[in-house]
Structure 1
Amino acid sequence: MYAASRMPLGFLAGTTLFDVLSDRSSSRLLRGAVVVAATAATAMAAQFSIPFDPIPFTLQPMVVLLAAAALGSRLGAYAQVLYLIAGVAGLPVFAASPTLPAGFARLLGPTGGFLLAYPAAAWLTGMLAERRFDRRYFTSFLAMLAGLVVVYAGGVAGLSATLGVDAATSAATPFAIADLLKLVLAAGVLPSVWQLVARTR
């Protein structure tokens, strides 16, 4: 059996929750399936949106970062690249908006910077999770906060092209505060699951 059953989970460096639950013996099919599942979760989170101009309020950043923490840097980033490909292909995965364009044009629009930052944000949060940041609440929060900073850096950069830096920062700030509050809650998910796994092994 995988070493997780013989040593404390807190000392398993270089592993993600997905690695442990799959005993690191997962097939390419299973890895592909979890990437697609994370992509679908991101798309579903986009549908729970409140339209604001120019940024719709969605649950996406939280879902992107949680999925990345669970899957790790590569699979987390792959899921977001697949999400962008699906959107560019015209599938209805982006947040519904009466003003923002659909398909590839969405990435060139005012919110494109947020979307394009998802793979990098997922990679960073996943990389920190691989270094055991997801085992404790505080470090789990830091890992997701690092990813959120990447999301908003990309988002503000994209908005600045049309609004200017000051207006873009002002427009993004209320959403950043709301996403930060969501991370306060979400940061406890992975450590709780790790504790549950430790008790069952």
Structure 2
Amino acid sequence: MNLSLNHKVLSEVFAPQTGAMKLAKQAALVIGGILFLAIAAKIKVPMWPVPITMGTFAVLTMGAAYGARLGLATILGYMIVGALGFDVFAGSSAEKFGLSYMMGGTGGYLVGYVLAVLALGTLARAGWDRSAPKMAGAMILGNALIYVPGLIWLGMLYGWDKPILAWGLTPFLLGDALKLALAAVLLPTLWKLVARARG
């Protein structure tokens, strides 16, 4: 696939674009992105067969809006905050947090978060976030990049004789499809609003 990586991502369309103010803006975006990820991880929407958590939606949309480089800085910052023991992940609690939580069943999915941010940021740089069908394709790829290391880690941790797919994949597919549809509409809509604001 030949990608032309010369498009701006959403975080770049707002001033300032150069100098110290650009660095300040990027630092603010990283901090704001970490807070966004932490809050989204705690949101649970009632759904069958399991509640929908908004963590993956936040990771994928942040990756697309920030681009690969700034998105990577943000997701790694989020991981560091979590590793230090702050309760920023979906299932962490006072009983299990920090590295002990990250090395548990969710560890592979956290690795997938990093891969997905890089992929979504790269595809946004190629302009995929400006088209609903392409954004949907990017979200499918991003979800796959989260699930593959997540399922591999579960199998290594608990054994391949366990119902790994029933634990870590199939209950979440319906909710992921809804989040995919939301993101596929949201990012192109934001680009249309930016174009309209610029006249």
TM-score (norm 1): 0.84
- Counterpart amino acid of residue 167 in structure 1: P
1:6 equivalent in structure 2: none
Is 1:142 matched up with 2:160? no
1:14 to 7, 10, 14: 7
How far apart are 1:115 and its partner, in Å?
1.4
What is the match of residue 31 of structure 2? 36
Does residue 161 of structure 2 align to residue 168 of structure 1? Answer: no
Q: Identify the residue that residue 125 of structure 1 maps to in structure 2.
A: 120
How far apart are residue 145 of structure 1 and its match?
1.7
Per the TM alignment, residue 138 of structure 1 is displaced from its structure 2 partner at its CA by 0.5
Structure 2 partner of 1:187 = 184
SS of residue matched to 2:53: coil
Q: Which runs of 5+ in 2 are unaligned?
A: none
Q: Is the 8 A contact 2:34 2:77 kept in 1?
A: yes
Find out whether 1:157 has 2:157 as its counterpart: no
For 1:197, which of 178, 186, 194 is the aligned residue?
Answer: 194
- Structure 1 regions of 5+ residues with no counterpart? 1-10
CA distance in 2, matches of 1:87, 1:168: 25
Across the two proteins, how many residue pairs are aligned to each other?
188
CA 1:12 to 1:123, structure 2 compared with 1: closer, same or farther past 3 Å?
closer
Q: For residue 164 of structure 1, what is the amino acid of its counterpart?
A: W
Q: What SS class does the counterpart of residue 187 from structure 1 fall into?
A: helix
Q: Is the 8 A contact 1:101 1:109 kept in 2?
A: no
* Deviation digits for residues 167-192 of structure 1 (CA, Å, limit 9, x no counterpart): 11122212133112211122111101
Give 2:105's aligned residue. 110
User: What is the distance in 2 between the residues matched to 1:56 and 1:81?
Assistant: 26
Contact 1:100 / 1:109 at 8 angstroms: preserved in 2? no
Cα 1:20–1:97 change in 2 (3 A) is closer
Instruction: Give the letter for the 2:177 counterpart.
Output: L
Q: Look up the equivalent residue of 1:19 and give its one-letter code.
A: E
Code of the residue aligned with 2:79 in structure 1: it is L
Asked whether the equivalents of residues 49 and 96 of structure 1 are also in contact (C-alpha less than 8 Å), the reply is no
1:24 aligns to 2:17 (yes or no): yes
The offset of 1:23, in angstroms, is: 5.8
Aligned in 2, Cα 1:163/1:132: closer, same or farther, shift over 3 Å? same
Which deviates the most, 24-33 or 113-122? 24-33
RMSD: 2.5
Q: Is this contact kept in 1: 2:41–2:53, CA < 8 A?
A: yes
Query: Within 1, Cα distance between the matches of 2:191 and 2:93?
Result: 41
Partners of 1:77 and 1:118 within 8 A in 2: no
Distance 1:164 1:120 in 2: 23
| Residue number in structure 1 paired with 2:72 | 77
Amino acid at match of 1:173: T
Q: C-alpha separation between the residues in 2 aligned to 1:99 and 1:153? A: 28
Question: Percent identity, aligned pairs only?
Answer: 34
